[in-house]
Amino acid sequence: MIGWRAPLALAGARWAAKRLGHGHDPEPPPRPAGGDLLGVLPWAAAGVAAGVGAAALSRRRRTGRLTGRVALVVGGSRGLGLQLAREFAAGGASVVVCGRDTDSLDRAVAELTGRGAAAHGVSCDVADPDQVRAMVAEAAARFGRLDFVVNNAGIMRIGPQEALAEEHFRAAMDVMFWAPFHVGRAALDHLRATSGTLVNIISIGGEVAVPHLLPYSCAKAAARALSEGLSAETAGTGVHVTTVVPGLMRTGSHRGVAFTGAPEREYVWFAFLAGLPLLSVGVERAARHIVRAAARGRGHLLITPMARVGTAVHGIAPGLTQAGLGVVGRLLPAAPEQVEERDGVEASRSPAGRLVDAIGTLNERAGDRLNQEPRARRG
């Protein structure tokens, strides 16, 4: 909030200084030494007070801009989803979070209520359409309405396509395409009643297929088409659909990613890139942008400079991006004869993994703040 207060206070002080130069005779009588300064001080103080007061008023308005509204965040028990729930709650909204892991869900709800939010948790496997429909119905019944529904649930498996089975692609589609499909179908009537917003979190991986993330990219590309199609078909009905395309974010999600093929080597490159400040963005900043876009009913939101550049270049010169990604693919670990699989916590136990974690301090800290898999499991 300091970022708002300082400019407003300075504006007030500038107004005070200008005010001093008006309303006086063209040739005022001589003043004693220091008189100008003494004359300015009351006006400057008043200007600063006015600036700070305006900033405080602006803060109260921002804090209450979502008061009385209800947000359902699918995949809201950890990572970006949890931060989105925090941001909605900070704006005054009641929040329903959904997750499959009951321990993470309970911790998330306890934290949100501890912050003073009206929060409710729903345990749900989003790959099950019946559970999805029941979740949306429970969320709407809990607070009497739905104004925002955020599709944020996701799974990620890193590895060369030779090391992946068809079931890995199906699982990705179930969670990141079919789940948003069923959530949207179940939520649209509720959102139509409130002129609400359906928010679909896609990814730069849905715009540009990234090597060794093929199931994820395929599912996100399908979700992007679904989101943009729903936006077109619900135009004029009162429902807004916001398609969010983030680049890399520091969420600590690398702890729960499944690494296949040569897990330790796959972990090193992914965790390193996910934690680089120049390539990734802090999740708090991303969540603020997303909630603001949802509140305004924006149709499309790109987050991080790299996502903007990647999307623009791919749109203008797809052959160039394909060639560049081909180079990247050759640099990544090849599929070994003996395929192994480990989650991020286990894969990080190698010396190289520990070194990357030490370098990516910002990402590790984000994981601690966002209810991700605890480091204690690493042994």
Structural domains in the chain (count): 1
User: Pick the residue with more confidence: 184 or 268?
Assistant: 184
Taking only the tens place, the pLDDT of each residue in 103-153 is 999 999 999 999 999 999 999 999 999 999 999 999 999 999 999 999 999
Using the structure block, give the residue that is written with the tokens 């993330």: 213
The whole-number pLDDT of residue 130 equals 97
Query: Judging by DSSP bridges, how do beta strands 340-343 and 258-261 pair with one another?
Result: antiparallel
Q: Does the pLDDT value for residue 234 go beyond 70?
A: yes
3 part of a folded domain: no
64 part of a folded domain: no
In the 8-state DSSP scheme, what is residue 22? S
pTM value surpassing 0.75:
yes
CATH number of the domain at 285, please. Answer: 3.40.50.720
Tell me the C-alpha distance between 34 and 46, whole Å.
19
Tell me the C-alpha distance between 276 and 296, whole Å.
31
The whole-number pLDDT of residue 365 equals 57
Q: Does the pLDDT value for residue 19 go beyond 60?
A: no
5 part of a folded domain: no
240-265 average pLDDT score: 84
The whole-number pLDDT of residue 283 equals 85
User: Pick the residue with more confidence: 63 or 370?
Assistant: 370
30-52 average pLDDT score: 47
Q: Lowest-confidence range among 62-71, 94-103, 184-193?
A: 62-71
191 part of a folded domain: yes
- Per the CB < 8 A criterion, the answer to whether 96 and 120 are in contact is yes
Active-site positions read 216
Q: How far is CA 132 from each of CA 66, 80, 174, 187, rounded to the nearest angstrom?
A: 25, 20, 12, 10
35 part of a folded domain: no
Query: Judging by DSSP bridges, how do beta strands 197-201 and 240-246 pair with one another?
Result: parallel
Q: Lowest-confidence range among 28-42, 303-317, 355-369?
A: 28-42
Q: Does the pLDDT value for residue 366 go beyond 70?
A: no
80 part of a folded domain: yes
Domain range for 139 is 70-374
37 part of a folded domain: no
224-244 average pLDDT score: 97
131 part of a folded domain: yes
Quick one: what percent of the chain has pLDDT higher than 90? 57
